[in-house]
Structure 1
Amino acid sequence: MYKRPPAAPRPAAEAARQDATGGVAESGLGHDAKAVASEVGRAVTALAAPPASPAPDRKARP
């Protein structure tokens, strides 16, 4: 059985260009890839950011 070799990866920005004509561009996957990357970036930033307020003091009261 013949297996077609995978195509070389291309940047999402290339597939999202106005005049792009490849299969990825015509299906809108370049825009999807950019949206996913943006969401992942926001999630990582939120996880890396310090908390908005200090944690409550958990020391035992006398």
Structure 2
Amino acid sequence: MLAVIEEIKVTGGYTIKVERLVETNNSIEAIIKKDSPKRVAPTVITQPFFISKINSTDKEIVFNG
């Protein structure tokens, strides 16, 4: 399981996702993409997250983005 959790935000409209995984001999790099609101967003406490199932591994997972 791979989980990416963003910090708490005070408005809606934020997203986070893993665009791709790049595997090397020693690690797996998770390329992260974050978006913020493009216009006025509601005032609400949110915490964007992304969860995905991946194969089990002993390699280090490096988050980049």
Higher RCO structure (Cα 8 Å, ≥6 apart): 2
User: Which of the two has greater strand per residue?
Assistant: 2
- Settle same-fold status: TM greater than 0.5: no
Choose 1 or 2 for highest CA Rg. 1
Please classify the TM superposition score into its range, dividing by the shorter chain length. under 0.3
Instruction: Provide TM-score, normalisation by structure 1.
Output: 0.16
